[in-house]
Structure 1
């Protein structure tokens, strides 16, 4: 168990942003399905990555680790049914990506995980789609008997991961499949998945995120890939600097990358880009207003913190799916910020946050890395000392956050 003491801090210096978790997990998926030995450099060394390595190993991949490089001997598009249960840990991406692939594998696959995976994370859209495609799927735990035999399915798209999983798995299926997506949300994450299909010249059709045809029978060769920095992770030091009027430089971010949380940087606008670095600068006070958080849904807790420092109320809308992440992020962040003195009100799909002076106190992460990192930003910009309980969950996306934040002047102590 890790608890943090956080005190108000001005930040200064350069910070190397950790690799993207979403790109790391997609790279491992395609390395599993490739022919030959792929090389993945600069991967994120997080619990989700290690759970994914275990999963692809059970499906037939051979995994070798050398320092910050992973070598994956793939299965040439023919994964085997696992001999043991696949433990997804706390990863919704593994649940949906490997769960989707299991529908294309002859035999039975069982996937389990922690309490949030077992009871809270939406998997019904994936189960319904696999059953429509002719596989047999049920919960809980998630059990899937493949292979698929049909060609068409419809599913709810409020969570993008089942759609992404079916697109990636369908690329290697025995025949084309058509997906009809109702209520498509989190579309930047679909764009991220489609960028991987384009990387391997995998053909597909898409109509307004509501209809896809993925043609199947793809064969890809082994590849070499360096994982870019994670904009979701970068948003925390970025916001901490903006709120404290600090100036820092963020390295390892590619502004041409399709990660959805990149949009948050443009929403705040306190930055410039030069020589492959993002420079966070002092700027005009943040004004408040209304933000549709669907394009960067993981940033909802952080935006709630930012709302406390705006000149006018900040309303966050179109974020209902945030209630079904590692925690109910709408309720979790509202409860913790109220402890700090925030005037914040829940809606079914978001929050209304009023300008508030925050004071340090004892807080809980709800064992959710996004809540923990958002509270860290709040603590760095509040009055007095903040105690954050159960902060070990931050390792999911930012394994060395203490060293990283301390290097730019953050007053953080692990106790």
Structure 2
């Protein structure tokens, strides 16, 4: 087990390229696999989660050649093969959700499973919606959790799905719907949370040559179509870049993050507005963002507080920002209210609870509600746990950079989305050590 030791940083400064988007990498691999012809994917993220998707595509008969700055994918035109073995998706919930629909295009039966954490991820809403579309997919233990068995066949037709639990259920159906035997009509019912992730899905589907018709009432219509191979460059990830930009805001540094696009469909681009409202200076150009913060001061309480001020924010459409914003609130002046986060309970961990738990170990006053966190700044050092969640590791690092003396157990989880995170932070001047 890896432990990170984080010491107080005086200032950070520099320019760094944002890690490639995990969300776009997952989607690009799957669409290149389903496409007709050979695609060239440039600058994909090779991390634990995305490699789970890559290996699953290979198991379904897709030929992928890895290269230093990309990969070449020989598409299947939707003609998948039956996996020879159970698909072990490790800890990647995105892979699990997306492959549940996609494996219905393969002959025979496919079995999807993963590690202990993945086997706690809820799937029943997706399984119920797929059943209406003629997909025989079910939980082996009849509890709505993985392992999941999927039989060959995707009839199509009409279905509906809740929009309040996971946008990945919606994206899962949309990504594979062009290969159903009949047109697919999908209606999202109730609150449509994390909608930007679905817009991201539709954006990349369009780039690979498939059109989805959106209709009033959160309805989506897809006719039979075939994805077309293309040369595609993965954009930088606002979720991962949030830690780099937040460090500059907290510590009074100046960091420029390259490969972040102003016109991105990523919902986590909201981090720019959040940092600006909390007091940081933000300069966003077409393909890069510069963040500058003021220097922190020591208060009469003996605790070091960032010059950032508290914030009231709704993260309904940006759930992956919860750990980052919670960490910012833990070192800001005043009391912050973070709402719209109930669906963050269904990620790698129950992030609402685990962030509250770990921040409390660092002396932070946290009140946890079902859909919110209320956090009063004033953290100190301490020992915290990762709960095998990559976003907890990187967000808790932010607190340690201000307070010093923070140790994070189980820190290897950062490899899920940001494989060289400690090195990138050190290069910017952050004293982070793997011990």
TM-score normalized by structure 2? 0.91
Pair 1:271-2:282 in alignment: yes
Report if aligned partners of 2:209, 2:228 keep a CA contact under 8 Å in 1.
no
Q: Which residue of the partner structure matches residue 412 of structure 2?
A: 392
- Residues 274-353 of structure 1 aligned to structure 2 (within 5 Å): 274=285, 276-282=287-293, 285-353=307-375
Q: What RMSD in Å do the two structures reach over aligned CA positions?
A: 1.6
More displaced stretch, 242-251 vs 160-169: 242-251
How many corresponding residue pairs?
411
Deviation at residue 96 of structure 1 after TM alignment: 0.9
Q: Note closer, same or farther for the CA distance 1:35–1:301 as it changes in structure 2 (3 Å cut).
A: same
| 3-state SS of 2:356 partner | helix
Task: Please list, as runs of the form range in 1=range in 2, the aligned pairs for 1:62-81 lying within 5 A after superposition.
Answer: 62-81=63-82
Deviations 1:199-254 (A, max 9, x none): 134222223672111112x1233211121111100000111110112111111211
The whole-number CA distance in structure 1 between the counterparts of 2:215 and 2:239 is: 27
- Deviation track 1:291-311 (CA, whole Å, cap 9, x = no partner) reads 111121011111111112333
Q: 3-state SS of the aligned residue for 2:368?
A: strand
TM-score (norm 1): 0.95
**Distance in 2 separating the partners of 1:145 and 1:276:** 43
CA-CA distance at 1:285 after TM superposition: 4.6
Aligned to 2:213, what secondary structure does the other structure show?
strand
Residue 200 (structure 2) pairs with residue 192 (structure 1):
yes
Aligned residue runs from structure 1 range 15-414, under 5 A = 15-119=16-120, 121-139=121-139, 140-158=146-164, 159-183=166-190, 184-207=192-215, 210-216=218-224, 218-269=225-276, 270-274=281-285, 276-282=287-293, 285-355=307-377, 357-382=378-403, 384-414=404-434
Instruction: Give me the whole-angstrom Cα distance separating, in 2, the residues matched to 1:204 and 1:230.
Output: 24
C-alpha change, 1:275 and 1:25, in structure 2 (3 Å) is closer
> For residue 3 of structure 1, what is the aligned residue in structure 2?
3
8 Å CA contact 1:60, 1:74 repeated in 2: no
Distance 1:352 1:152, change over 3 A: same
- More displaced 10-residue stretch of structure 1: 193-202 or 22-31: 193-202
Structure 2: segments with no counterpart, 5+ residues = 140-145, 295-305
Decide whether the 8 Å contact of 2:156 with 2:181 is kept in 1.
no
The 3-state SS of whatever aligns with 1:294 is coil
